[in-house]
Structure 1
């Protein structure tokens, strides 16, 4: 993860330089704000990956003498099926419809979003797929 963290931090530096040049050259506020937000997001991801790399064991990509086959094997657990993202997307679509047509639709969207998040977080703590 050290490599990925450094890549995102260098990307953040590049985006910051581009944002400053774009802001001074164009004077257009929307693009400048978008570039500064992209800088902030890259910086957050780079910081997270760098911080996590200190606590996690080194992967094969972090060693100079590593071979491609050193990184083979199981990486982790990935959910094979889940209906919760579809439910969350439905709640998000309702929320955006609430912004367009009226805020009263948020009363219907908020419970759908909350149930979807709860279901997604605790998906493998109950039922036949219980893992923990």
Structure 2
């Protein structure tokens, strides 16, 4: 996990440098100024790489190192619990349906986008609050 975190930190810096260079070049040579799709997309790509790198770095600090950190480790050395997952949860399905309806709504019609937002909010909230047992539970 430590190597993956380093890779994503490097990717984040690379995408940030490329985005800044792209913004400068398009601002200088485009007749209308900075290109309005590529520059924000590259900034978002850098932000996503930084978020993944941060999450992996935090996970490395919190948990013990797995077998993937040792050069002489075998695949079978990395057995055991990989996380806490809810096997019978419907929340990922509703979140995925909401996301797909949002994308379809952008292409086909904005009224579909509204239904996608409703499904996505329901799916994400139920996924986040899935294991919540209330504020005052003991």
Name the Cα RMSD after superposition: 3.5
Residue 100 (structure 1) aligned with residue 110 (structure 2): yes
CA shift at 1:18, angstroms? 1.8
Correspondence for 1:20: 20
Q: What stretches of structure 2 of length at least 5 have no aligned partner? A: 28-34, 134-138
Aligned length, in residue pairs: 123
Q: What stretches of structure 1 of length at least 5 have no aligned partner? A: 127-132
Contact 1:23 1:29 in 2 (8 A): no
* Alignment TM-score, normalising by the size of structure 2: 0.64
Compared with structure 1, are the counterparts of its residues 85 and 25 closer, same or farther at alpha carbon in structure 2 (3 Å cutoff)? same
1:42 to 19, 32, 49: 49
Compared with structure 1, are the counterparts of its residues 40 and 64 closer, same or farther at alpha carbon in structure 2 (3 Å cutoff)? same
Correspondence for 1:72: 79
* Alignment TM-score, normalising by the size of structure 1: 0.66
Correspondence for 2:36: 29
1:84 to 82, 91, 110: 91
